[in-house]
Amino acid sequence: MTHQLFIDGAYCDAASGQVFDVVDPSNRQVFAQVARGGAEDIDRAVTAARRAFDHGPWPRMSGAERAAVLRRMGDTIAARRDELARVEVQDNGKPLPEALWDIDDTAGVFHFYADLAERLDNAAVQDITLSVEGFTSKAVKEPVGVAGAIIPWNFPMLMASWKVAPALAAGCTVVLKPSELTPLTALELGRIAADAGLPAGALNIVTGFGPEAGQPLTEHPGVDKLAFTGSVPTGSRIMATAARDIKTVSLELGGKSPLVVFADTPIDEAVEWILFGIFWNQGEVCSATSRVLVEAPIYDALLARLTEEAQKIRIGHGLQDGVLLGPLVSPSQHEKVLAAIKRGKAEGRLVTGGGVPEGLEAGCYIQPTIFADMAEDSWIWREEIFGPVVCIKPFTSEADAIRMANDSRFGLAAAVMSADLDRAERVARAFRAGIVWINCSQPTFTEAPWGGYKQSGIGRELGEWGLNNYLETKQITTWDRHRPWGWYLKD
Ligand code: TXE
């Protein structure tokens, strides 16, 4: 099946007429083809988005009117959850229950931003108290303009919603560039939006590769704001390109997030959240807790139990019952993670896993993998692997745990487990990271801010922070003409 681009309210071929293959990672077989968008398609999409913003109804509608469209989009996504989740399984590899979770969250994100769009009708204007008499002033929030959104492959439809829903809620128009590895569910958003009554040009979707479609989007002078989730090198390139035109950017990049377990934590509880923190979604999660620090008295017992449970994880096709670990997203990600494991074997002790499970060689599968005894300056301890690979280390004091946790160029997420909530809170405050979990790891809520410190990014998505990404603030100040002024004209 061949899927087209979505530009100015209609599906169309790429200007070049070219397509590219979409591969099912469970068997490495091509199962769909998608239009290979390039600079010309990006230009058409940005032109449509620009026209829709400058002259179209979308930014001029009330928040309540925009909310009605967003709500209908959320309703359609919810109604099509099973079908969309199955596409996600084939495209990305993730187990069906996780794909269903993604689609439910996607619908929830559209509903949440529908509510915020409605509230914007009253919240968009804020009176300002001035210290000088004779003037009144107010701050008005307005949509930033045309937003270019570039997203990764680990949560294909959900990542689209994190950018598209708040941008549309704010009154922006959007050009979305999905990942070339998982373009299918994001492309469906075009049909869903058109059916919900979104005006033509308000959402455009151009599939294609980073250098061919992503780069022209970041360079296009018609784009006012760029929102990106992906790797640090690509984020850095996007930021440098955006600097040329002083475009606003928000970036959500990688991580090597620590999970600190104090000895007063029940071992089963810790094991449950460590497993979830690193093996959920095949470890292809920007906030995955891939570095685990365990207080020395329980280190050996915890590692033994963790190893036993990791070995029990059912690996297989995402549609099989009981599977908790599907294939990685693509042959290239599979190779990348296997290469990282090879490097890890030279730097630390491979406790379990590290290979391709027997009988599953046709797909991009990797066993749940645990490394121990690596040095603090080792590559495997410091770099993002983005696969089912966790590194574990003991610590002897709270100060030491905090020091090791923060000793990273990343600062996306961190977690702490302890029965002593005062201590947990103290450690949570000491982490240099944008997302901190206490006594759990990974649960993500549409209402709460999401984003990183340090090289993990700039800005926050989700919640009201996500909406603010797509709003400009304008000051409107009025002089009371009955008051004296006369700086130049004295009489
Ligand atoms: O990422 P890229 P890739 C990490 C993870 C993974 C590695 C590489 O470690 O192994 O990055 O993955 C588009 N201008 N993360 O290669 O390149 C690209 O088409 C504009 C962490 O998939 O960052 C895709 O749509 N756009 C991460 C998007 O950028 C460009 C999630 C992401 O691709 C571009 C994914 C360019 N020059 C990977 N080059 C997370 N933080 O969640 C590429 N793209």
Residue in 150, 177, 187 to alter for ligand 1 test, most ligand atoms within 8 A of Cβ: 150
- The neighbour count for residue 434, using CB atoms within 10 Å, is 22
CA 177 to ligand 1: nearest atom:
25
Mean pLDDT of 411-439: 98
Q: What is the pLDDT of residues 359-406, one digit of tens each?
A: 999 999 999 999 999 999 999 999 999 999 999 999 999 999 999 999
CA 209 to ligand 1: nearest atom:
19
Q: What's the pLDDT score for residue 343?
A: 98
Beta bridge partners of 247: none
Mean pLDDT lowest among 7-21, 252-266, 477-491: 477-491
Name every protein residue with a CB atom under 6 angstroms from any ligand 1 atom.
150-154, 177, 179-180, 209-211, 214-215, 218, 229-231, 234, 237-238, 252-254, 286, 333, 336, 384, 386
What spacing in Å lies between the alpha carbon of 154 and ligand 1's midpoint?
A: 10
Nearest alpha carbon, ligand 1 atom 20: 214
Q: Does the structure show a pLDDT above 80 at 491? A: no
Q: Does the structure show a pLDDT above 90 at 1? A: no
For each of the domains in the chain, give its residue range(s) and CATH number, in order of start: 2-253+456-476 (3.40.605.10), 258-438 (3.40.309.10)
Mean pLDDT of 139-150: 98
Mode of pairing for the β-strands spanning 291-295 and 258-261? parallel
What spacing in Å lies between the alpha carbon of 210 and ligand 1's midpoint?
A: 8
Mean pLDDT of 141-161: 98
CA 208 to ligand 1: nearest atom:
19
349 pLDDT tier (thresholds 50, 70, 90): very high
211 pLDDT tier (thresholds 50, 70, 90): very high
Q: What is the pLDDT of residues 254-294, one digit of tens each?
A: 999 999 999 999 999 999 999 999 999 999 999 999 999 99
Residue 103 sits at the vertex; the CA angle it makes with 100 and 108, to the nearest 5 degrees, is 125
What spacing in Å lies between the alpha carbon of 151 and ligand 1's midpoint?
A: 8
- The neighbour count for residue 122, using CB atoms within 10 Å, is 8
What spacing in Å lies between the alpha carbon of 150 and ligand 1's midpoint?
A: 9
Mean pLDDT of 186-202: 98
Average pLDDT in the chain: 97
169 Cβ neighbours under 8 A, 6+ residues apart: 63, 66, 67, 70, 113, 114, 116, 117, 120, 467, 470
CB-based contact 328:481 (threshold 8 Å): no
Nearest alpha carbon, ligand 1 atom 39: 210
Q: What's the pLDDT score for residue 490?
A: 84
Residue in 41, 231, 236, 256 to alter for ligand 1 test, most ligand atoms within 8 A of Cβ: 231
Q: What is the pLDDT of residues 64-108, one digit of tens each?
A: 999 999 999 999 999 999 999 999 999 999 999 999 999 999 999
Active site residues: 252, 286
Rounded-to-integer distance, Cα 319 and Cα 214, Å: 32
Q: What's the pLDDT score for residue 124?
A: 86
What spacing in Å lies between the alpha carbon of 438 and ligand 1's midpoint?
A: 29
Rounded-to-integer distance, Cα 389 and Cα 278, Å: 7
Q: Does the structure show a pLDDT above 90 at 122? A: no
Of all residues in the chain, the percent with pLDDT exceeding 70 is 100
Q: What's the pLDDT score for residue 56?
A: 98
CB-based contact 284:251 (threshold 8 Å): no
Q: What's the pLDDT score for residue 251?
A: 98
Q: What is the pLDDT of residues 459-468, one digit of tens each?
A: 999 999 999 9
Q: What is the pLDDT of residues 314-339, one digit of tens each?
A: 999 999 999 999 999 999 999 999 99
Q: What's the pLDDT score for residue 69?
A: 98
Nearest alpha carbon, ligand 1 atom 10: 386
